[in-house]
């Protein structure tokens, strides 16, 4: 089954090239010989039709787009995110569930990741901090249990 | 728009049945967001509503592959449950669960592959695996696309039933991009080495007995299964010759079938001896123990040798430089 939309029948659009500016006309910041048609919404530089990038109903220059993408100012440029909360929860659960002893490494690691990346951006989709909280609670529980076991062993040896 | 305040995206139906990866589709203000996740990170792909040319739904089967696997698992648990006197509760509970999942998967209906087409690409939407879900999703998206692109004309809506000369006017879609990178082959080499060790272990187990051998055997089996699961996840992202892929599936099927048979025979033996302790994994004196282990050792050895040979040949082809273009 194919569900087609009008864009399928729209012919290829001609690429904008920018017109040459005449004497007394404002020129593009990047191409001085081209006529400026808009200003950048971010930095205010004059842009020709070639440099103008329409994004979310605003005109941007290539420099601002690049810098916004690099600094992660615009979520719409991002195509990858690390889910630190899921990683912290995995560190807190899998080592404990597989065999108890790897929790010696897993629990402190879960605590570290939870605290270190508490404010780090997670998914761009709706998501709460519940995984971080759960990881912290589980990690503290495991560390408490380990402490109790060590205390019991030391106490038993002392009594013996 | 029906977004809750502060929410940038609205979730669309579709959640494939997968353990290690997750795919979902979200509707944003002016674009569709396809999300691929491996549980610890997410990759995003945006399709702007003004650029979407078409959705292509291709029916792939009456039910998903998981349905057959879960059905086999249900039969594997329920059939012994009818004959054994002990472990009955466990077998019935596991069988019931597997049967429940099988029925749920059957109820989901026929499966499909859904592709989204723009002027420069045609990509699969992995979250839409069932016809019913895909059609429901398209019904939700359609008004938003029409809002941006304008309503669909009668000619476009009636396109699939039009005669060939009308269909010929439609621009030819771009070919499906091959995005898979070639696999390095090391994961497969690891699996075949594990199988070779398992074969060696099976031969040794006739003469060397003890807890250490048992633990080694089960560790090897768990490592093999983990490796197979990992490789089946890699199938989707990395390219590998079909012969090596077939050997991985053969290893999975043979190992699972032989382990199941061994467990079944051992349980029958325990029942015959009125030994009602739950552990069947260390029983070694059941009838059929020797032929089963000889078969396992031979099968593992053959698959491992063939697999290693194919991986070595595959790695040689990877190192070979690409052929030069033919002279004009």
Q: Has residue B26 got a pLDDT over 90?
A: yes
pLDDT higher at A21 or B261: B261
Rounded distance between C-alpha atoms, residue A30 and residue A40, angstroms: 12
| Cβ-based neighbour number of residue B43 at 10 Å | 13
**What is the DSSP track for B127-163?**
T--BHHHHHHHHHHHHHHHHHHH-PPPHHHHTGGGS-
Q: Do β-strands A53-55 and A58-60 pair in parallel, antiparallel, or remain unpaired?
A: antiparallel
3-class state of residue A61 by DSSP: coil
Chain A residues whose CB is inside 8 A of the B57 CB are 1-3
What does the pLDDT look like over B58-85, one tens digit per residue? 888 888 778 888 888 888 888 877 776 6
Tokens of A115: 């605290």
What's the average model confidence in pLDDT over A94-119? 86
ipTM: 0.76
Query: 24-53 in A: which are within 8 Å (CB) of B?
Result: none
3-class state of residue B37 by DSSP: strand
Is A28 within 8 Å of A36 (Cβ atoms)?
Answer: yes
How many A-B residue pairs are in contact by the CB < 8 A criterion?
Answer: 90
Cβ pair B44:A7 closer than 8 A:
no
User: What is the dihedral sign for C-alpha A151, A153, A157, A160?
Assistant: positive
Long-range residue pairs from B64-73, CB within 8 A, at least 24 positions apart, any chain: B64/B17, B64/B105, B64/B108, B64/B111, B64/B129, B64/B130, B66/B17, B66/B105, B67/B102, B67/B105, B67/B106, B70/B98, B70/B101, B70/B102, B70/B105, B71/B98, B71/B102, B73/B98
What does the pLDDT look like over A12-63, one tens digit per residue? 665 566 677 777 778 888 888 888 888 888 888 888 888 888 877 778 888 8
Is B40 within 8 Å of B22 (Cβ atoms)?
Answer: no
Helix extents (H) in chain B: 65-83, 88-107, 131-149, 154-157, 164-167, 186-204, 211-237, 242-272, 289-319
- Write down the pLDDT at residue A92: 92
What's the average model confidence in pLDDT over B197-212? 83
Cβ pair A8:B170 closer than 8 A:
yes
Mutation target vs A (from B3, B9, B31, B44; most A CBs, 10 A cutoff): B44
Instruction: Write the CB contacts of B247 (distance below 8 Å, at least 6 apart in sequence).
Output: B192, B303, B306, B307, B310
Q: Measuring CA to CA, how many Å separate B225 from each of B190, B195, B248, B300?
A: 12, 10, 10, 13
Q: Has residue A65 got a pLDDT over 70?
A: yes
3-class state of residue B116 by DSSP: strand
Cβ pair A7:B51 closer than 8 A:
yes
Q: Measuring CA to CA, how many Å separate B178 from each of B32, B84, B123?
A: 22, 51, 10
- Write down the pLDDT at residue B188: 92
CA distance A87 to chain B (A): 6
Model-level pTM greater than 0.80?
Answer: no
- Scanning the structure block, which residue is given the tokens 């690429």? A15
Q: Has residue B202 got a pLDDT over 80?
A: yes
Instruction: Write the CB contacts of B108 (distance below 8 Å, at least 6 apart in sequence).
Output: B63, B64, B130, B132, B133
Q: Has residue B175 got a pLDDT over 70?
A: no
- Write down the pLDDT at residue B101: 92
């Amino acid at each position: 089954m194919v569900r087609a939309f009008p864009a399928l029948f729209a012919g290829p659009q001609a690429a904008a090239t920018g017109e040459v500016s005449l004497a007394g006309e404002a020129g593009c910041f990047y191409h001085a010989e081209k006529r400026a048609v808009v200003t950048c919404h971010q930095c205010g530089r004059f842009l020709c039709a070639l440099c103008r990038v329409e994004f979310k109903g605003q005109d941007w220059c290539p420099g601002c787009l690049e810098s916004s993408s690099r600094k992660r100012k615009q979520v719409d440029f991002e195509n990858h995110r690390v889910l630190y909360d899921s990683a912290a929860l995995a560190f807190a659960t899998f080592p404990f569930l597989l065999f108890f002893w790897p929790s010696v490494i897993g629990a402190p690691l879960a605590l570290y990741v939870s605290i270190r990346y508490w404010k780090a951006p997670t998914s761009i989709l709706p998501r709460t901090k519940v995984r971080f909280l759960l990881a912290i609670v589980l990690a503290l529980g495991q560390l408490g249990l380990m402490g109790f076991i060590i205390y019991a062993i030391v106490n038993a040896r002392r009594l013996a | 728009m029906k977004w809750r305040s502060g929410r940038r995206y609205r979730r669309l139906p579709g959640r494939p049945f997968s353990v290690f990866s997750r795919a979902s589709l979200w509707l944003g203000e002016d674009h569709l967001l396809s999300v691929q996740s491996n549980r610890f990170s997410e990759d995003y792909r945006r399709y702007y509503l003004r650029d979407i040319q078409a959705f292509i739904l291709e029916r792939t089967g009456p039910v998903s592959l998981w349905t057959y696997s879960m059905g086999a698992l249900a039969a594997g648990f329920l059939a012994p449950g009818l004959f054994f006197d002990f472990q009955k509760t466990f077998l019935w509970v596991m069988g019931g669960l597997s049967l429940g999942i099988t029925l749920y998967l059957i109820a989901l209906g026929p499966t499909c592959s859904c592709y989204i087409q723009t002027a420069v690409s045609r990509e699969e939407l992995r979250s839409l695996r069932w016809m019913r879900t895909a059609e429901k999703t398209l019904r939700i998206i359609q008004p938003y696309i029409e809002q941006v692109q304008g309503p669909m004309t009668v000619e476009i809506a009636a396109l699939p039933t039009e005669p060939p000369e009308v269909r010929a006017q439609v621009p030819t879609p771009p070919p499906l991009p091959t995005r898979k990178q070639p696999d390095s082959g090391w994961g497969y080499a690891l699996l075949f080495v594990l199988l070779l060790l398992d074969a060696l272990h099976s031969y040794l187990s006739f003469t060397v007995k003890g807890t250490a051998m048992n633990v080694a055997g089960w560790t090897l089996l768990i490592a093999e299964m983990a490796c197979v699961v990992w490789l089946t996840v890699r199938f989707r992202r990395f390219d590998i010759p079909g012969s090596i892929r077939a050997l991985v599936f053969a290893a999975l099927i043979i190992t699972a079938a032989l382990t199941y048979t061994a467990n079944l025979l051992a349980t029958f033996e325990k029942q015959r001896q009125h030994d009602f302790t739950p552990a069947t994994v260390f029983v070694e004196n059941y009838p059929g123990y020797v032929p089963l282990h000889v078969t396992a050792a031979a099968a593992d050895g053959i698959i491992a040798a063939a697999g290693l040979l194919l991986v070595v040949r595959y790695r040689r082809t990877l190192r070979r430089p690409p052929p030069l273009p033919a002279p004009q």
